[in-house]
Every structure is written in structure tokens, then in C-alpha cells.
Amino acid sequence: MSLLRELNKLGVLRTLDDALANTLRRLDPETPDEVLAAAALASMAVANGHAGFDPASPRQLVDAEIAWPDAEAWRQQLAASRVVATPHSPVDEAEAAPLVLENGLLYLRRYREYERRLALQLQRIASQSMPGTGIEPIAPLFDRLFPEARTDDHQARAAALALRRALLLVTGGPGTGKTTTIARLLVLRIAGALQAGAAPLRIALAAPTGRAAERMAESLRRAAAQMAGQGIDAALLDALPTDASTLHRLLGTLPDSPRFRHHADNPLPFDIVVVDEASMVDLPLMCKLTEAVADGAQQAATQLILLGDPDQLPSVEAGDVLAAILAAAGAGDALSEDDARALQPVLGDAAPAGAAHGRDAVVHASAKQTLHGHRVHLQRGWRQDEALHLAPLAEAVRNGDAIEALALLRGGTLQNVHFHEGADDPLHARPGLLAHWRALATLTDPAEALRQANRLRLLTALREGAQGARGLNARIEATLSGRRIGTPPAWFPGRLLLVTRNSHRHKLFNGDVGICLPDANGTPLAWFPGEGSIGTRAFHPAALPAHESAFAMTVHKAQGSEFDEVWLQLPRADSRVLSRELVYTGLTRARSALHVAGSAEVIVAALGRHAGRVSGLGWRLG
């Protein structure tokens, strides 16, 4: 049996994957079956979040007992095929062919080009020079904003590097102060521009989803209020942005087009662009963002600052972009001698110079020239309030230490962390869930209802199945509305909605959450947060873009959000979707209380698995 036929018999290929293989067969009837099968797998790989397909590790994509071809022989067949391009250089555009074979990976041509273009843009931005504002004039302000700067304060180091780097990577776990650091470094940049007599800085804040953008803006406003309490000049604080947008809005969507209004020939009109939750940004979107960052040819170079948690899940779509960038940037624990010398007025002797050590120091020399020294990793503090003692559990999960994680969950020593071992029905194990959702229907103020809705969320690892978001939502809808399970959900008061497809006409985007409530006249409406976190917007339910209920959400969909209380429901049986990154992302959505439900066996399996992605971006950057 041919490999392509066997893959179809197993039911692992999508209709689109098989259609690509058949199209290539029609274009060149002499194409070997192994090449057609590899083409289908390259298409399937993108749908599974990979940038390409690795013929040496096919079981990473299809875990089945198949007589896979020898990897080297397979690559030779691909290289010899007329439907496969083989570029001579990683910086050159590939020849016009549906597929590209490069560095051992097989790509759909479009995704190889996204990787190539993104690598070139990141290297371009990193090599840009920052305007010489001088550090000494703003040193007194720096000391007020970062009083511990001379005691190896990583937040201070990130702010100092922002004065020297056009590309800055600020990473850290929940609550390590990423947005607080950004607020203060923006004040420093604003002060530096004023000292230099330059025009007021134009600053944009953005995130992949509307909720993440809203959270970012809220955090920045809180940080500004704290600085006001410390007596920071009101003129500096007034120059800070107060709102954030989605990346799609920032770049300017064009109806019925994959292109954006802003691109290399029409760059973004900003001096600084700050992007939060960078781990959620997929390969195509990050490519288009970096291409829209001005390079100084048409206007002053734009500074790009990426914030993210390297231990969270990668983007839902293709690519693990942040991980690849960070691998090229290294640990970020040391400054170059030039940086240490230049920043000595504000950091003193606390800025260590020299190369990082260990695994993160193994970076190709060319990567060090462009990305090394552009990252600061924040380590101190946690986002959760004092009522939730989550740090030790998050650390164990991040390290894949299942023994320690289970001991912490079972020990009952972590405040407001509850383990429901073996529980697979959250509606039975936690009756308060239904009570919370019933109470939403009694509220009359949509803004208050949305706030209350975000206090608690049921998160799942899977979309399908009894413990999946879809199955649980069907049960919850039936219970709250009185309709039979399986009946198409209708509007009912208190129903939470999750937008699943971008609608630029409505200015609603994938991941936005709303609630169904009648207006003062009893008209049934769906309410969503207003733009810039101001007020609410109402829509007729029939006019909404594609959506589903949001009582239960997958961890992927909840990424970029946070809730006072989280119930994390793991499936009854192990699944390839489970990983330590998924568990870590799920539990760190909680601010005040966390419930983890599942079996020890499933937790052990999940923490033993990485959410790895096949990508060539790290290689290109190195």
C-alpha cells in the first residue's frame, strides 16, 4: 500500500492535505508517492502548529505504526522532485515551487518565506541604532524609578537596555513585573526625548487578543497611578498611552485580504511598539509586524519591545516564534562590555559583563552579533495576590517535575490551591460553578456582568470529549436554559459568548468574550467590552460573527486572560495535546484561587511532554 493511501486509510489527513497531494500529482504525474505523502504531511504540519515537516521525525506528527521511508532517502527524493525547491542560501527567496526543502525540513513555500522574512527583519531591527539621548541627564529619574538598580535589579536592567536597543525582549513568568517595567522604561524614553529636544514620542501598545490588550492597558494605567503616587512628573505620565489594541487593529486590517494597511512600504507611524503576550503571536503575524516596523529610511527607526512568558503555550497557529527568538538571544543574564560601560551611571557595578554560561550560551556567532544582549529575563515576584500561593507549583510544572507537583497538590500546603484528584465532572465536583453562572443572568448592568463573568472560568485541556470545552458547554447551556442537550444554543440571559472568527466590521476578534443580557426595553442583546476598555458595545445576537459559549474554554483560548478563580479540568485519559506548557499556562491564569481536577497518571504524562514545534527560525537566526 502506498504511503499516501495508508495515511488516508488511517484518517489522519484532512481533506485539504489530500487535495494538495492530488493537485501535485496532476501537475506532475511522475511525482513519487513518497513526495506526495510528504506534501500532504507538510500541509498537515501547518494545521498542527508546525512551520514545516521533518521527514526524520514523522511520528512527531503522526504517531502510528507505519513503515516510514528512510529519512535520508526520503529527503533525496524530495530534493530531486520538480515540485520542491532547494534554496542555496537561507536569505534568498525560494524558487517558484509549491514546496521547499531546506535544512532537512519540508515547507509549504509560503511558510518557508515567512520564516526567512521574519529572520531578516528581526536581524534588521536588532542592528538599528537608537537615538543618542544620553543616560546622564535622566540618571536622577532612573534612580527614583528603580531605587534597587545597583543591586542587580533585572527590571532596572531591562529599562536601561531600552535606552540602547531597538529590539528588546523582556521575558518572565506571571507577575514578575513585565508591564510595570515597561511603564517605567517608557517614562525614561519620554524623559530622554524631552531632554534631547525631540518631538514627543509616539507609542503603541498591542497584544494578540482583545482581552490581552485590555489587560495590558489596565496594568499600564495602574503602574502610572503608582508612579504618580511616587511624585513622578505628571507631564511624563500624561505622555504614556492609556489604551492598547490588538495586533490586527494596529497593523490595519483590509477587508477580504491577508495583507495589512501597514507594511514595509507604509510602516507603522510609531517610535515605540510594545507587544505583550508575544508567545501567542504566530509566524505569519510576527513576520508582518516586523516588516511594518520602520527602519529609519523613511522615518526614524521604530523600537520594538516584545514581552512574553517563555514557558507558556506557543501560538495556536503555525510557529513557536518567541521560543526561537529567545534561543537565539540566549539567557540574557549578562551585558556586553560596551553596555556595562555605557549603563554604569544608572546600574553601577550591578551590570555583569561577559557571555552567559551553560546551555543558553551555545549560540552561533552570527546570532550573538544580532540578538545576543537583547533579552532580559525577570525572575522576582508573582502576579497572584497574597491569598494564592502558586509559585512552587508553577516551578515544578515548568520543570516537568511531576513528583514534586503531585506532592504539592496533595499536601494541601499551598494556600487556595485545591486538588480534586480523580474528579472528571466539574459540574458535580464544584456546584458553585453553576451558581456563579446563574447569578450572571440576574444582573442588569452589562459592564458589571462582564466583570463578574471574568471572576471565574472553567478551563479545559481539550476541545472535544466529556471533559472538553464543547461537551461541557453543551451541558451547561442545557442546565441554564432548560433546553435539551444537542439543541442548537439560543440566546438566553447570562450566556457567555466567545468570538471564534475575526470580524473587522464589528471590531470583534477571535477570543473576545461577551454576555447575553436584555437591554432596558427587554430587547435581547449580546454585550462586549467597549474599545479601550470604555463602556460596552451591544449587538443583535443574529448579527454576531462566528461564536460559541464561553462557560468552559480551552487553555489555548484563555491564554492572555486571567481570572480570580480558575477550575482546570484535565481529561480522563492521556492525550498528545497535554504538555507541561498547557498545564503551566492553565494554572497561571488564576489570580486568587486555583482548582486542578484530574488523575495523577494524566498529570505525570502531561508534565513529561513538551509542546514542541518543528521550526527552522532558530536555525535562521543563528
pLDDT in tens, 249-306: 899 988 778 888 999 999 999 999 999 999 999 999 999 999 999 886 555 678 999 9
pLDDT for 385 equals 54
Task: Over range 124-132, report the average pLDDT.
Answer: 82
Task: Over range 57-73, report the average pLDDT.
Answer: 90
Note whether 207 and 244 are within 8 A (CB). yes
pLDDT in tens, 489-536: 678 999 999 988 877 778 787 788 899 999 989 999 999 987 655 688
Position 175 pLDDT exceeds 90: no
Least confident window among 301-310, 362-371, 385-394, 447-456: 362-371
The 10 Å CB-count burial string (b at 16+, else e) for 307-320 is bbbbbbbbbeebbb
pLDDT for 368 equals 43
pLDDT for 534 equals 62
Average pLDDT, the chain: 87
pLDDT in tens, 68-107: 999 999 999 999 999 999 999 989 888 889 999 999 999 9
Residue with the larger pLDDT of the pair 387 and 607: 607
Position 345 pLDDT exceeds 80: no
Note whether 326 and 297 are within 8 A (CB). no
**598: helix, strand or coil:** strand
Whole-angstrom distance, CA of residue 177 vs CA of residue 585: 17
pLDDT for 401 equals 94
Task: Over range 313-336, report the average pLDDT.
Answer: 81
The 10 Å CB-count burial string (b at 16+, else e) for 411-421 is eeebebbebbe
Whole-angstrom distance, CA of residue 9 vs CA of residue 65: 13
Q: What dihedral angle (degrees, nearest 10) is formed by the CA atoms of 80, 84, 90, 92?
A: 110
Helix axes 210-229, 178-195, angle to 10 degrees: 60
Least confident window among 67-76, 321-330, 375-384: 375-384
Helix axes 402-411, 600-607, angle to 10 degrees: 140
**61: helix, strand or coil:** coil
Task: Over range 560-585, report the average pLDDT.
Answer: 91
Whole-angstrom distance, CA of residue 566 vs CA of residue 383: 14
Least confident window among 129-133, 144-148, 223-227, 273-277: 129-133
Could you tell me the pTM of the whole model?
A: 0.87
To which residue does cell 489527513 refer? 13
Residue with the larger pLDDT of the pair 301 and 221: 221
pLDDT in tens, 553-568: 999 888 888 899 999 9
Element (H, E) at 102: strand 99-102
pLDDT for 133 equals 59
pLDDT in tens, 436-488: 999 999 999 999 999 999 899 999 999 898 899 999 999 999 898 877 776 66
pLDDT for 360 equals 34
Note whether 529 and 212 are within 8 A (CB). no
pLDDT for 583 equals 95
Residue type, 32: P
Rg (C-alpha) for the chain, rounded Å, is 25
Name the residue among 479, 472, 467, 461 with its Cα closest to residue 424.
467
Position 357 pLDDT exceeds 50: no
Position 58 pLDDT exceeds 70: yes
pLDDT for 71 equals 93
pLDDT for 359 equals 28
